[in-house]
Every structure is written in structure tokens, then in C-alpha cells.
Structure 1
Amino acid sequence: MDETTGTVMQPTGDTDTTSPARAQVPTPAQTDAPAPFDPAALASCPSRFFNRELSWLAFNERVLAEASNMNYPLLERLRFLSISGSNIDEFLMVRVAGLAGQVRRQIEEASIDGLTPGQALAATHEKVLELETIQQKTWAGLKAEMAEAGIAVIGDETLDPEREQWLKDYFATDIMPVITPQAIDPAHPFPFVANQGIGVLFSLNRIADNAPVMEMVLIPAPLPRFVRIPGEEAAWISIEDLICRNAGTLFPGFKVGGHGVFRILRDSDLEIEEDAEDLVRYFRSAIQRRRRGLVIVLQLQGKFDPAAEEMLRGQLGLDQALIMKTEGLIGFSGVSAICDEDRPELKFEPYSPRYPERVLEHDGDIFAAIREKDIIIHHPYESFEVVIDFLRQAARDPDVIAIKQTLYRAGKQSAIISALIAAAEQGKSVTAVVEIKARFDEEQNLLWAGQLERAGVQVIYGFIDWKTHGKVSMVVRRESDLGNGRGGYRTYCHFGTGNYHPITARIYTDLSYFTADPAAGRDAGKLFNFVTGYVEPDETELLSISPMTLRSRLYELIATETANAKAGKPAAIWAKMNSLTDPELIDHLYTASQAGVDVDLVIRGICCLRPGIEGFSENISVKSVIGRFLEHSRIWAFANGADLPSRQAEVLITSADGMSRNLDRRVEIMIPMRNKTVHDQVLDQVMLANFIDTEQSWLLHPDGTSERVGEVEEPFNLHRYFMTNPSLSGRGASLASGRKVPKLSLRRGNI
């Protein structure tokens, strides 16, 4: 038991994982790696890969380390703790639940790193417990700092009479009518505890006859996780502590002997049945089943009565479940409420995205701006409103006759949906491909689909086996002059690396590419025909589409670099993505490295590739950028016979990560950047800034450890750079007056 937090955890060895400057991927497969990483043996050894689950946990450890980053304001560090907690919850509900299910079904097939499901589950449980301990220590430190800053998080300590009275009144008026105490005995069946549900077990004695009674109070989801107590000096209390403080009011006639708070997580993944006759009806029932999934985590807070704990274990059915005990807080995602405290000096300075100047130069006419030349919008530095305005303008433009749109995640208050509905109500032909298999957004997407259909939008749900993950919008417009002396139809396209989601677009870095290139329009039309009518494209001019051609196109480009390296020409690959797990793609990169290709990767999350091994992957470097914004854009750049960066390079953006699911089981797109300004913006601005960043970057080492980039003479923060400098393709003529964009230069030591 950790003396600081009281978290019960399994031993994890002597590695110091609490340091914010270093994080480790403790994969058991490392112990089988040929020492010291013999290249010939590694070529066919599972140890050439890191474990996927443990690599993801290492990513979340980097996120958690930002909660201790003293360069950030206090409440922003608290937000990173909240994000870490939310990340782990989802990871447990999906990935760990999947491993537990394989163990229950006695599946012994090893993953690419050589671990069986049982071995991976045990290692993952151990690492989760280790991260839980770090979270508790971080929370204790942040609480102390907040108290010094005038933001108290209280438990059972006594307050001044005015605040004590307010808490009693609030409990009586706002909490008591909502909660329902339930006795736990043979006459009362054990209640259902919802996924992520929090409950309190009370050990009571009836005063009249001293009879012992056990009572459970389940905290309804609509109640706030933390309550702000009025007053000039900020004070917050968790909902469970508030209930426990008022146990006497809740149970008159009883003596409270003790209490314990618990929380559960359930298996929340959805399995798709290939023979589902009605996909919509199937998902409506599957969502209901998910809410009653098997318990995969039981968290216990406080000194639990042994009998109460045994009862919980028996009633919840904890086969292959992880049990976590702590004296600290449970459910760290909930601390995000405290981040709303009105203390601007404890937060990042507000940032307002720029609206692309090129569009403004055309008096807001987005179609005119795109006709002039292609444009890239770099979110969140440039406003997502331009994407919404693209559809709004299409909806009200009498010359627009058709709109086609993919929707993976659109959010709960979506202006995109409103624009599509408005277009349909104007009599335009509107087609929406709504992906109802978008994890945790299935229910919301079903609601959007219903609204769209009622407005007259043709709604398509895509494939049963594949998710439609590509981000594509196309608008067909009647125009009098197509540049050939006659009129006709012109197709305007939007291709994105991120979702059509206005909230995440404020914090995710993504690229929105607008073009009126006829070839792109023809390819987009073929893509929609494929999804809506299963008409597989015989060939495309620009787009690479998974699961048909995207993988093979990447292999062709990697092979060209490999051949150039063998021929003594400059050869390099730059790539940026969220995750890299596909073993075949990784092996192609290993082969390129061994041929002398310099491979530099920016991978925010999971990376199963082991870089920097002499004679095997020594020419591969991997860094992860964690900061104010979530790096989300997916980009590939290939030297193509010249030193990177150069105009000769092949530069492509994509909706796909380097994962088997993206390359084989999802509909994704990849498109080259052929316009000079757009090409330069993506390569010389976006990619280069990621590589030369020093303030938010972590380097991945061959042994699985990640280490912050150390202090340098000229530090560089890529987020700050983009917040203070306009993009290249969106700047228009506004820089002619002399306001320059600082040109970035590459120093090999940066990557």
C-alpha cells in the first residue's frame, strides 16, 4: 500500500515512473528481445514491436505528466489530470474489456509483440494500478496548490456556520429529492449499477434495537460531480462527500458506523453481427446492452467494511475484473468541473481562431476563394466556422444543386447538421453518410440520422463491417463559366483529417483542405458511390481509398524512398499520425531504415515501432507532442529524390492512422497536396514546426522509455508559433504590406 495515497497496487519494480521528465513502456516482451537487439534475430522476433496496450498507457502517462508541468497555469494542469482520468476510463471500458473477454473465452492467440491475452491483461492491470498511484499523488499536490491559490476542495472538515448551513440546505433541496437509499438485505434485490456509476455503502445501526443495517445510495448521473459552495473564497465538494456529510439527515433514527464509496466501469464495446438485417435497429438494442455490460473495474474508496466489499464482489460478478482500492479520489474525469472556476489568471490566455483572410478578401464567398486556388485551413488556429460556412453558403446558394457529406462525429449541437437540413428544405439533393458505429457517439448519430431523414436528406449508414471514417464533403454547383468558354457544373470538395465536430475543432489540430480540382471532384463522387451503392471505383486520379488502395499506395511511396536510398539519392520519410500499430506497415518502415532512408515520425499516441536500434531501425526517430492542443492531423511526406523539405517532395494528408483497422476495415481517404502554397504550408510549416518543437515533445527510445526534450539554447513551441502567425494558404494578400511569417529552418538535431 502506497503510504501517500493508500492505493493498493501490485509491485512494479524499481523504475521511477513518477518523474514528469521520463515515462516508460514496460512491455514484458522486452525481456525476450535479443540482447543487445541483434538485427538479424529481430527481423522475425515479436520483440521488434511494442505492446499496443502498454504503449497507449505510456501515452496517457505523458498526458498525466502535463498535470505536473509547472509551465502551465494551475487549472490547466488540473484539466490534464481530468483528461488522463477520462482517457483511462475509456481505455478500460474498451481495450481492457476486450482482453478480459478473450481470457474468458480462453483465447491464447498472441498479439504482434508476442503476448497472449492473459499476459497482456496482467501487464495492463499492473500499469493501470501504477498510473492510479501517480494520479493520486498528482491530485494531492494540485489540491494543495489550489488551496494556496484560494480554491479549496473539502471533505469532512468543519466550515464556517454560513457555509455549513448552505450545504445542509442545498442537500435538503437539491440532493435529497433525487437520491434513493436502498437497504441491502434478502427483501431488497441488489440494484443495477450503471456504467461509470458511483455509489456509497453505509454501515448503520438502528438506534431503537441496535440492529445492523446496510444501505446503498447510488448517485444519479444528472447530479453534479462537484458542487461549488457560494462565497468569495472558492470551495468545492464532491457529490459523494456531500452525501456522506449529511448521512445523519439521510438516515434519521440510525447511527452511522462507517461508509465506503465505490465506482464501477463496464465493458462498453459493441460487437457487430454480420447478419444484422437492420443496422439501425441492431444498434439501438446494442446500446442498451452496452449499458449492462460486464463489470471490468471496481474502484473502492475509504476503509470498506469487509462484509460490504465481499457483498459487492459477489453481486457484481467480477470475472477477470480489476479491483482498485484507494483512500483518495475515484473518478478523476469529474475534476474538470473545478476547471470552470472563474480564475482567468490560472488558465491559458483565451485564444480566438483566425478566419482565413483569403476568404474575407472575397467578401466571405468561400466558393470564389476556392476557385482562385486551393486552400488549407489549420484548426484550431483557423476557425472551424469556415467549414460550417462552406455548407451554409451551399444551402442558400440557388446555383448549388447537390451536397454529399460524411459524418463520423458531429457533436451534440451541430451546425453542420443544421446546414444540411436547411439545404434539403431548400429543395437541394442532400446525401449524408452517417456512421452509426462511431464509438460512444452511436446514440447521438442515430438521433442526427432521424432528424436528417425527416428533413428529406438521403441518409446512408455505410457498411456493416467497415466504418466510414473518411472526412469528405462535396458540393455540386451550376456555373456559367468553367474556364473553357462554356458553363456547366463545378464540384467543390472538402477533405479533412478531423471530424465535422465544432467542439473538438477548438482543441484538436487538424487540416481542412478545400479544392475545386475536377479530378478531386470526380474521385469524391466515386467515393460516395462506393459507400452508398457498393460501386467500387475501378481507378481514381488523386484519392487513395482504404480498404482498397491506401495501403498499397503507402507501400509504393515507401518503396520509392527505399530504392532512392539504395541508388545513393536523398531519401527520407516524414509522417505525423495519432497511432502506428500495423505490423506490416512498420516492417516496411524498418526495411526503408535498413536501406538508409531517414524516417522521422511524430506519433502522439500508440507506437508499436521500436526506433533507434543499430543495424535495424537506427534511421528511425519517433517523437510525441503533448500540449495545449491535441495533435490530430495525419500527414505523410516523401523526399522523392531531394532533401526534405523541398518542392519536389510528395506530400499527402489523410484521415487514416497507421493502424490495421484504418487500412483494412475502414473507409479512409488520402490525397496529395499539389498546389504550391498548400504543399509548402503542410510541409514547411506544419510538419517542420512539429519536428523542431522542443517545449512539448517527448522522444521514444529503443528500450521503450520516452523522455522530454531537454532545455535548448533556442526553445520552440509549435502551438505558440501557430497561435501568433498566419497560415500560408489562408493569408491571402494581407502580408504584402510587410508582415511576414517567420520562416522555419530544420536543424538535424531537432528530429
Structure 2
Amino acid sequence: MAKKFRLAENYINRELSWINFNERVLEKAIDKKTPLLDQAKFSAIFSNNLDEFFMVRVASLKSQVEAGVTKKSEDNKTPTEQLIQIREKLLPSLQKQQTHYLSNLKDAFRKENIFLLDYIELTSREKNWVDNYFKTAIFPILTPLAVDPAHPFPFVSNLSLNIAALIRDPDSGQQQFSRVKVPQKTIARFITIPSDLSDKNPKPIYSAIPVEQVVAFNLNLLFPGMEIEEHSFFRVTRDADLELRDLEADDLMIALEQGLRKRRMGGEIVRLEVLKTMPKKILDLLMESMDVEEADLYCVDGLLGLDELFELITIDTQHLSSTSKYGKIHNSLKNSQYGLLEDGSIKQEEFRSIFSIIRAKDLLLHHPYDLFTSSVEEFINQSADDPLVMGIKMTLYRVSKDSPIIEALIRAAENGKQVMALVELKARFDEDNNIQWAKQLEKSGVHVVYGVVGLKTHTKIALVIRKEKERLRSYFHIGTGNYNSKTSNQYTDLGLLSVQPELGQDLVELFNYLTGFSKQPSFRKLLVAPVSLRRGIETLIQREIENAKNGKQAKIKAKMNALVDPSIINLLYEASQAGVKIELIVRGMCCLYPKKEGLSEKIRVVSIIGKYLEHSRIFWFYNNNQPEVFIGSADWMRRNLDRRVEAVTPIEDPTLKKQLNSILEIYLNDNVDAWEMQSNGKFLRKSAIKSEEISAQNKLMDF
């Protein structure tokens, strides 16, 4: 039984820990060593992360306050106290981001002959072009909405960018308020101005102006005969979480579609962003009309909606972004590529099917360093076309819009194979995309299911059944990341390709659990949530504790996205006090205090924030010099251990175990993208002092 500690004193609030993580993203944006376009990208990521945080986490806390919930968090804070502290922590970061955009990023771009212009900076020729662009490309789709006794205050949709204007009738002298929604999905946020209109020498590489300014300085065309007295910009964020009761599969699809329509409209407002220069009369009217409290008001000294800085990444200047390095075909798979066979790169006699290679040995894939297209996608593609393949089963959590995996599954069904796809309709902010794929798969003859009632299916597993010499053999992939072609180039993830019989049988039974009504009590080797994963992880930690108490060397190394679960944290504290050396690589939230005297001196926590999003999960246990190593889809969070279907697989091949240990050591030695967590919960940037710079991601790519 784990020794209990005073959790409130030794547990970092998860919301504040998440903000700490996002601050590390922002620090990557403002770091002068980060190439300019990457600075824009990381600033956009910071804003995009924050939008989701407000839509889900802040919205949840506000709902608790409104419902009168007084239950405190693990660190002994009420929902109201958490909201107050969230705001206090966010305000300095938001100011830091805007200062960077206005005073650093724009100026640095200018030195590179790239101009992010305000309307008042335009030359007369540029103004003429912009005004003409407004008339022909924007004006026809705008709808100004006046507010008066006959026109109530209009609904403002989630994350929309808007112009609030005060206009006056010169004849009657009457003043009116009007709102104009800025088009965002149909028109770019930054309108590119032709370089030949500039009077600069040399001509700009790129010049652009925010679309809201193009609209704002042409409001007179929307209100002919009226005087535009004031205008300013605002943006709202609404509660976007979908509350769904457990339903049968058919009902779930309908409920989700209805819920998504509601989300697009939006729930309660949880944040109102305005410019600091907004006239008080407009601000008061907005807050009163939308019932916004002072605590939900964020005044911005710069540009609203900086998540759309993503658009700048397409500027064609390679030296302003990190050197593009691309992964390669896994060494063992070089002769198994249909594409290379078709274009003559490899000879017919040299070609080996991916199945023969997997039969020979287990393969560990590490994306994006090992190309997803030539490994996982090749595995599914060859499975779809191989006449010996009888069936394919997969779980799909987040799938790219244009998915080769989906195409392969459809082709497999058309080829007469038994194909089953578990599409997780409740993957947050991917629900609409997944509904569309589910419908398309069903029309093509794929058997589509939506998982276990009451649980979100987060596993990353694919099972291929192949008939060989009158027997069926199970080939499979178990991974840490989604079957998503786009994110596979942006996220680091691991995967196992294997034919191990016991793991294969575990997967057969796991899919039966997901699609039928079986209540699987245990598995041979897989650790599966919510069945055996928590118990399995706690047992592995407990074994290290016992070894340490018996005078044996004891170590734990683990890499994950988040460490939040109180029971696991409590057990790690106990392990540290018993003498277990613990090294953790946690990208995001970490609610554990490392290096704390009398509690966690043996625990070290590192966070890596690099050009790729760290998404892989590795769990390594020394086990008296007989290491046991696991990879899988689960973080050490309550939701992953108790409320989701997750699969974590052991890696048993000695060579692959060593490879995973080497990967962990490379991350732990990083001094470029690494942050070290201190005993007070703060992170300090690691730096190379009198030694070579070691970037884990660059080193892994070079390998």
C-alpha cells in the first residue's frame, strides 16, 4: 500500500501547470535563436492552445461556479480560486506575446524585407489597391448588423473576429451601434499586397495587411450617407465542450451532429478579447449586451487572433525557418516499397513484402524520423491489396482530411476483405471530420463501430489477419500516435510492427471487447485501460520500490505528454523516498514536484519543446538489470487510466529495448530544447555551458 502524503501541499494545480507548459511554447516563439517564421509558428501555437484551453478547461470551471460546485481540486483550490489564478498567470504572458509581435517580430521581418503593414502605413498606390480589393473581393459578402429597438444585439459566434462601430446620421444626429463580422474561412487573414506597388527599394519579398483593417477603413461603403465616428475590433470565445450522455451507436451519431451544430453557434461566452484602445462607450455596450463580466475581459495591445500567424509559414524564404530535414525509409523496409518497385528503384527479385520482413523480426518505428508513409501506410496499403489478407481491423481517433489510410480501408473492402474500423466520434474538435469519414467508410462496405459505451477509445492499434499455409496469422501495429498522415510529419511517435502470437491474440480479444459485449478481465501481455493498465503501471513502480528497499539498484525512466494522476504521483513520491532513481520527460502538464526535500529528491523532470511536438510515450523499468519497456497511447492521467480505452505494449526484443533506452537518454541529455523542472514547480531552460549543443530532435533525425 502506497504511503500517503499531504497531496494538497505536494500537487501542482493542473490548470496552472498547463499554463506553464504553454508559457514554454511562448518562450520558444520569443527566443532569438528561433528562426523568424518559426517564431510566428510558435506564437500561433501558443494562441491556438489558449483558445482550446478557454473553450474546454476555463468553460468547465465557469460551469462549476455557476452550478454552485464547491468541491476543491487536489491542490485545495475552489473553481473560483482557480479562475482567478488562471487570469493572473495569463495576463503577463499575453502582454509578452503582443510585445514580441509588435516590437520584435514585425521589426525583424522588416529587416528581411517582409512587411506586416497597418492601413495607415500604406502608400497611396497600395491604399488604392487595397480599397479596390475590398470592393471586389470582400464587400459583397459582408453583412453589417445595426443595433436598435427593432434590431436586437446580434449573436457573435465562437472565435469570430468582429468590428464594432459607432455611426451617426448627419441629418438627425442620432448615433447607432453596428457590428460587422470579418470573413475568416473564405478570405485569408493577411491580404497580400503586390510588391510592385511598393515604393521601397528593393521591392518587398512579401507585404500584407490584416483583413480586419481592410474592412474597417472601408466602413463608409457599408454605411453610405452615415458618419463613422469610432470603430474597434473584438473577438469572443465560447464554451465548446460537448456534453453527451451514453447512447447507442446510431443515437450517438445523431447526438454528435446536433451537438456540433450547437458548438458552431457556441455556448456561454468565456472570454471577450478587445483592443486596449477600444472606446469606453463601445466596450460598455459590448459587455452589457453579451453579459460579459470584468473577469472575462482581456484587453489586447496589438493584434487579435494571433493563431492565424500560421498563414505566414507559407512565405517562401527558407533561411527564415528551421532547416527542413525529412525522415527516411526504415532500414528494414527499404526493399518492401511498392512505389520503389513500380518506378524501378528496386528490382523485382530484390522486392520483399512487408509481411515477410515483419515475420523475420519486430520493427520499432520512430516518426517522423522513420517515414510514416513507407511504414504504417505501406503496411495498410499492402494489406488492402494482398490476396492472402482476410481481414483488417483498426482504431481511428484523429484522421487527416485527405487520408491514404481511409482510402486503403475502402479499397480493402472493395477487394472483398473483412474490414472493421472503430471511429472515435468523440475525439474533441475532430468530431465533424470523423463523422464524415465514418459515413464514407460505411457506404464502402467497411463495418464501422463507435467503441464502448461510456469510454472514449484512444488506442492506436491495427490488426491484419493473413492466411498462410492453411493457418491464420495476426500481423499488427501498436502505436503512440494517430493514424494521421499530416501529424506524422509534425509529431514524434513510436510504433511496433510485429507478429508475436500472444500480443496478436490480445489484440483479437481487445477488438472483440471494442465491437461486442465481451467483458475481458485480463490480457496476456498488453496493458489495457480501463482493465489492467493502472494496476500494471502501479505494480511495475511498486516492484522498483521493493528492489530499492532490498538494497538493489532501482530506476524508472518514462516519457509522456502529461503526468496528472494523483495515485501515480503519490507512488512516485514513495519510490523516490525508497531510493528509486526516477527520470521523467513530460512535455505538458506535470503536477508532481521533483527534487523536493524530504519528498522527491530522486525525481528529475525534463520537458522538451522543439520543432516537433513530442507525443511518444515510453515507460522503462530497470527490474534488477532485466529492463521491462513499454510504449503505448496512454499518459499518466485519470482519463487515460480510468475513462478511456488505451493499449500499452511491452517491447521484448533486446535490441529494441536498447534502442528505446538510447532514445530516452538522448532526450535527457538535450540542452537546446529542454527545460528542467525545479523543486518549486517552475521550469528553467537548460543551456549548453562549455559543451556542445545537443538537440535531441536533430540528433534523432541525423541517426
Where 1:213 maps in the other structure, the secondary structure is strand
Where 1:177 maps in the other structure, the secondary structure is helix
Counterpart check, 1:375 vs 2:350: no
Match of 2:257 in 1: 284
Counterpart check, 1:86 vs 2:58: no
Change (3 A) 1:77 1:318: same
Change (3 A) 1:425 1:159: same
CA distance in 2, matches of 1:556, 1:195: 45
Q: 226, 230, 235: which one pairs with 2:190?
A: 226
* Offset, 1:255: 2.1
Matches within 5 A, 1:674-685: 674-684=652-662
Match of 1:434 in 2: 423
Match of 1:418 in 2: 407
Q: 45, 54, 58: which one pairs with 2:16?
A: 54
Give TM-score, length-normalised by structure 1: 0.88
Measured against aligned partners, the alpha-carbon deviations of 1:450-487 in whole angstroms (never above 9, x if no partner) come to 0000001111101231100010000000112xxxxxx4
* Offset, 1:225: 1.5
1:174 alignment partner AA? A
* Offset, 1:42: 8.8
CA contact (8 A) 2:119 2:209 kept: no
CA contact (8 A) 2:3 2:574 kept: no
Match of 2:312 in 1: 338
Match of 2:554 in 1: 571
Counterpart check, 1:217 vs 2:217: no
* Offset, 1:585: 0.6
Where 1:100 maps in the other structure, the secondary structure is helix
CA distance in 2, matches of 1:97, 1:435: 23
CA contact (8 A) 1:572 1:598 kept: yes
Measured against aligned partners, the alpha-carbon deviations of 1:592-620 in whole angstroms (never above 9, x if no partner) come to 11100001100000000011112211100
Change (3 A) 1:534 1:131: farther
Change (3 A) 1:441 1:65: same
Identity level (%): 39
Measured against aligned partners, the alpha-carbon deviations of 1:69-96 in whole angstroms (never above 9, x if no partner) come to 2222111111110110101111111001
* Offset, 1:651: 0.7
Matches within 5 A, 1:554-703: 554-642=537-625, 648-684=626-662, 686-703=663-680
Change (3 A) 1:321 1:220: farther
CA distance in 2, matches of 1:452, 1:114: 47
Counterpart check, 1:529 vs 2:512: yes
CA distance in 1, matches of 2:401, 2:285: 39
* Offset, 1:539: 3.0
Match of 1:74 in 2: 36
Where 2:687 maps in the other structure, the secondary structure is coil
CA contact (8 A) 2:4 2:570 kept: no
CA distance in 2, matches of 1:446, 1:626: 32
Match of 1:745 in 2: none
CA contact (8 A) 2:95 2:301 kept: no
2:668 alignment partner AA? F
Counterpart check, 1:263 vs 2:235: yes
1:116 alignment partner AA? T
CA contact (8 A) 1:236 1:338 kept: no
2:699 alignment partner AA? Y
Match of 2:215 in 1: 243
Match of 1:295 in 2: 269
Match of 2:462 in 1: 473
* Offset, 1:536: 2.2
Match of 1:706 in 2: 683
Match of 1:384 in 2: 372
Match of 2:443 in 1: 454
Change (3 A) 1:177 1:341: same
CA distance in 1, matches of 2:111, 2:528: 55
CA contact (8 A) 2:61 2:83 kept: yes
CA distance in 2, matches of 1:319, 1:81: 27
Q: 88, 103, 107: which one pairs with 1:126?
A: 88
Measured against aligned partners, the alpha-carbon deviations of 1:161-199 in whole angstroms (never above 9, x if no partner) come to 332221112111111011111211112222221110111
CA distance in 2, matches of 1:306, 1:159: 28
Where 1:170 maps in the other structure, the secondary structure is helix
* Offset, 1:430: 0.3
CA distance in 2, matches of 1:100, 1:538: 38
CA distance in 2, matches of 1:675, 1:499: 24
CA distance in 2, matches of 1:172, 1:563: 75
Q: Which ranges in structure 2 are unaligned for 5 or more consecutive residues?
A: 196-202, 337-350
Match of 1:510 in 2: 493
Where 2:120 maps in the other structure, the secondary structure is coil
CA distance in 2, matches of 1:507, 1:426: 32
Where 1:491 maps in the other structure, the secondary structure is strand
How many residue pairs get aligned? The number is: 674
Match of 1:742 in 2: none
Measured against aligned partners, the alpha-carbon deviations of 1:336-385 in whole angstroms (never above 9, x if no partner) come to 11221111111112222201121123436211211110001110111110
CA contact (8 A) 2:522 2:531 kept: no
- Runs (4 or more) in structure 1 with deviation over 4 Å come to none
Change (3 A) 1:258 1:302: farther
Q: Which moved more, 1:69-78 or 1:691-700?
A: 69-78
* Offset, 1:221: 3.2
Give TM-score, length-normalised by structure 2: 0.94
Matches within 5 A, 1:13-32: none
CA distance in 1, matches of 2:169, 2:521: 77
CA contact (8 A) 1:109 1:116 kept: yes
Where 1:261 maps in the other structure, the secondary structure is strand
* Offset, 1:105: 0.5
Where 1:723 maps in the other structure, the secondary structure is helix
CA distance in 2, matches of 1:320, 1:93: 18
CA distance in 1, matches of 2:319, 2:698: 18
CA distance in 1, matches of 2:563, 2:287: 38
CA contact (8 A) 1:84 1:333 kept: yes
Counterpart check, 1:185 vs 2:148: yes
Change (3 A) 1:343 1:571: same
Counterpart check, 1:347 vs 2:321: yes
Where 1:505 maps in the other structure, the secondary structure is helix
CA distance in 2, matches of 1:217, 1:155: 19
CA distance in 1, matches of 2:641, 2:517: 18
CA contact (8 A) 1:611 1:701 kept: yes
1:87 alignment partner AA? N
CA distance in 2, matches of 1:458, 1:85: 39
Q: Which moved more, 1:370-379 or 1:702-711?
A: 702-711
CA distance in 2, matches of 1:631, 1:361: 29
CA contact (8 A) 2:3 2:571 kept: no
CA contact (8 A) 2:145 2:180 kept: yes
CA contact (8 A) 1:266 1:293 kept: yes
Q: Which moved more, 1:605-614 or 1:163-172?
A: 163-172
Measured against aligned partners, the alpha-carbon deviations of 1:643-695 in whole angstroms (never above 9, x if no partner) come to xxxxx2111101000100000000001111111222222112x1111111111
CA distance in 1, matches of 2:379, 2:247: 38
Where 1:278 maps in the other structure, the secondary structure is helix
Change (3 A) 1:383 1:100: same
Measured against aligned partners, the alpha-carbon deviations of 1:229-277 in whole angstroms (never above 9, x if no partner) come to 1214121111111111222333332222111100000001111213568
Where 1:438 maps in the other structure, the secondary structure is coil
Change (3 A) 1:105 1:320: farther
CA contact (8 A) 2:521 2:531 kept: no
Where 2:141 maps in the other structure, the secondary structure is coil
RMSD, aligned α-carbons: 1.6
Measured against aligned partners, the alpha-carbon deviations of 1:43-75 in whole angstroms (never above 9, x if no partner) come to 224010000000000000000001122222111
* Offset, 1:302: 4.8
